Amino acid sequence: MKSFEFNFPKIGIYILSVLLVSGLIILLGLNLPINSLVQILENQKINPNDFTSPPSINLASAIKVLPENKDLAIEKLEKLNKALTPTNEARRLYILGQIAQRNGRFEEALNYYSQISLRAVPYLADRVLLHKAEINAELGREKLVMNFCRDILHNHPNSLSFEAANYELARSYLRQNNFSLAEKGFQFIVNKFPNSNYAIGSTYYLGQMQPADNVSVRNQLWEKYLSKSPDGRFAGEIADIWLKDGNLSSKQKVLIGLNYFYKDKKPSNNEKLSDFLSAEFTELNWFILSKTYLNEKQKSLAQKTLFNGLKTFAADDDFRPALNLLFTNSSKDERNNFAQILLAQDNLSDENKAFIYWRLAAFNTSERKKNLNLLLQKYPNSSWSASAGNEIFWDMYKTGRQAEAINFGQNLIAQYANSPEMAKVLFWLGKSAEIAGENTQAQNYYAQILRFHIDNYYAFRAKERLKSLRGGIDQGWHIKDFSAINNSFNSANWDWPLPKEEIQALNPTIKELLNLNLWQEAVSLLPPDYQKQYPALQAWIAIKVEERIIDGIKVASDQIYKRKPPLNPHNDYWSLSYPLIYFEYTQNSALKNNFNPFLLQALMRQESRFQPRVISVSKAYGLCQLLLGTAKEVARSLGLPAATSDLLMTPGYNINLGAKYLGDLIQRFDGQAQLAVAAYNAGPGSVSKWQKASPNQDPDLFIENIPYEETRKYVINVFENYWIYENLFATRENRLATQNKLTKK
């Protein structure tokens, strides 16, 4: 691959003069990686397999605390000095160099990087050179910056640092007022890597370099920069220059408005943010302008903007969130009117038209059945059709139209057999067959659930019904005894695991950085669309690096839905979607209260998605989402310090109280865990009232008829979680495999 520098000597001349060049470099004190240069020039080969092994046990133990506790990591890493193999020693020095560099201790970082043998870590060699260039740029040593960048360009042209080296070199030329080479360098990046962050930054510099009489070209370049990066490093500077210049174009006003919006800034004069954003109506700003109008309490303008945007930009990614926002801020009649006009638009896809009916059904509850039926009739192949059919089926079933429901349900499963929504339809077709004495047909329905929907709540219930029909006992919602594995199931060292399969497919440099817990640098080197190729890694990054646990679990769960992997604790999607995080607390607390810890783990997954500091709109706190009043009563009964909002954010304390409360509810409802879980959500008084109203009701039907939709879904989701945890981790084989995996960490 070529760089923008075309004036270097031919490689043949380098080969003939390598000794002279090497000696000269040493004399000049330029600190170039001679071993790397000689190795490349002499075409020496390195076996990649020699450098892909994970860090040694001692090194892995030292870096385990990264990035949460850098001081402890430094202490541990410094103690390992000269106690490692050359490769692990190079890794140790690289980590220490990264920590020092990111904390602004540049000379210290240079000292670490300079001790690294690049032959020991070839996948990090280009990164070492780049970091030396970056640091010397900070220290004003432009000659060294150029030398390190040129080393990368000539000796590591296929590395992940090639583009960054071009960028740093161009910036160095700019700082030295060599505008010709700087311009050539930035333009090379824009042409060669048009969609990269470096290309966006280059656009800024190309604009900055324009002569004073070429303001129009400068502004065109800066408009490109702000369009792609309205919250970028130079966006505020550009906005200030434009405002100072005056005579803003409508496009410039919009871009300044976007910068203010993303940076959460307010205009410095008497203008409102909407005054900037409303200068033009484009695909870039219509949805943000709508939200700005709402923030400014201009509801009618927000409605108008949302509606016009939905009509004009029907293929926009913002279509569905914008429709939700429009319907949220409209009356029933307004929603129906907006929907009627949008549905007549030729530029709307069938999928988006189906979505309109789906949201109408959600917002206009009095017309829910009508809109669900229209959705199913008009757009039977949409993403929401099976869900609509499921709901229509259940309405028929619960209102006593059994024959109609059975016929309708059979048609549904013929069309949507693979949809998870069909698990409920199949289950109740099976129950209907049982009631009619058609046990063979019932077994067929239940077996069909197990073929297509093994991880579904109804699959676990179907498994128990099959057992009953074949002479066994339906265990219902009975919680399995956990005491047998109390002493053998160790999860104290569990952490969110890196996706094994996808890590193997990554560029070796990224793989190496991830193994060293240098997440920030690793993520910066991933391709912009890495989520499509590496969804498990996307989930892991969201959870571990960005602390967006809900989003990460959702990504992993979506992949389970799409890929349908077998229930296996070592599958990346299952381990990310159903983690054992905090299980050391869960296990101890649940066992003290005489119930299976996996039920508490399942409840936490549903309540908080394992976010210890989350607070609900109803002021429920922490992992087990406890109300302060309830928490104070439970803490008093345990003799613990009085519950406070801060204490409830502490995992061990919160789980201890949650386990006690759930355990008491299980005892209160005579071991019927499904009732205890319902009471955890809706309150024990509500559950007792429902019991009295239907004392002898079929337990399956009791759950389906829970009056509160939130509680009904809650019970189903918690038990689905529980049964998945049991199947993933509590069978003998999985238990031993998990134990071995954990004890090796």
pLDDT digits (tens, 9 = 90+) for 2-20: 555 434 344 343 433 433 4
- The tokens 């988006």 sit on which residue? 352
Q: List phi, psi (to 5°) of 134.
A: -60, -45
Q: Sorting pLDDT into bands at 50, 70 and 90, what band is 35? A: very low
The string over 366-397, giving b where at least 16 C-beta atoms fall within 10 Å of a residue's C-beta and e elsewhere, is eebeebbebbbeebeebebbbbbbbbbbbebb
The per-residue pLDDT for 39 is 39
Q: With 70 as the cut, is the pLDDT of residue 581 above it? A: yes
Query: How much of the chain, in percent, has pLDDT values that exceed 70?
Result: 89
Q: pTM of the prediction?
A: 0.86
184 burial (CB, 10 Å; 0-12 / 13-18 / 19+) is middle
Mean of per-residue pLDDT scores for the chain: 90
Beta bridge partner(s), residue 615: 621
The span from the CA of 160 to the CA of 287, in Å, is 36
Q: List phi, psi (to 5°) of 133.
A: -65, -45
Which residues make Cβ contacts (< 8 Å) with residue 737, sequence separation at least 6?
569, 570
Q: What is the pLDDT of residues 76-109, one digit of tens each?
A: 999 987 778 999 999 999 999 999 999 999 999 9
CA distances from 140 to 106, 144, 168, 176 (A): 12, 9, 13, 10
Q: With 70 as the cut, is the pLDDT of residue 375 above it? A: yes
Q: With 80 as the cut, is the pLDDT of residue 38 above it? A: no
The per-residue pLDDT for 15 is 39
Q: Sorting pLDDT into bands at 50, 70 and 90, what band is 53? A: confident
How large is the average pLDDT for residues 119-144? 97
How large is the average pLDDT for residues 407-427? 95
Picking from 19-28, 50-59, 222-231, 476-485, which range would have the lowest pLDDT averaged per residue? 19-28
The span from the CA of 58 to the CA of 393, in Å, is 60
Q: Which two tokens stand for residue 491?
A: 């999860």
The span from the CA of 195 to the CA of 114, in Å, is 33
The per-residue pLDDT for 733 is 46
3-class state of residue 626 by DSSP? strand
The per-residue pLDDT for 83 is 75
* Closest-CA residue to 600 (of 613, 614, 582, 615): 582
Q: Which two tokens stand for residue 163?
A: 């583009």
The per-residue pLDDT for 41 is 32
Q: Which helix (H) or strand (E) holds 252?
A: helix 250-263
The span from the CA of 627 to the CA of 321, in Å, is 31
Q: Strands, E, within 562-685: which ranges? A: 620-621, 626-627
Q: With 70 as the cut, is the pLDDT of residue 328 above it? A: yes
Beta bridge partner(s), residue 621: 615, 626
**Neighbour tally for 42: CB within 10 Å:** 9
44 burial (CB, 10 Å; 0-12 / 13-18 / 19+) is exposed
3-class state of residue 384 by DSSP? coil
The per-residue pLDDT for 590 is 96
The per-residue pLDDT for 453 is 87
Q: Sorting pLDDT into bands at 50, 70 and 90, what band is 315? A: confident
The per-residue pLDDT for 3 is 57
The span from the CA of 738 to the CA of 570, in Å, is 8
Which residues make Cβ contacts (< 8 Å) with residue 369, sequence separation at least 6?
392, 395
**Neighbour tally for 86: CB within 10 Å:** 12
Q: What is the pLDDT of residues 486-500, one digit of tens each?
A: 444 555 568 898 998
Q: List phi, psi (to 5°) of 424.
A: -65, -45
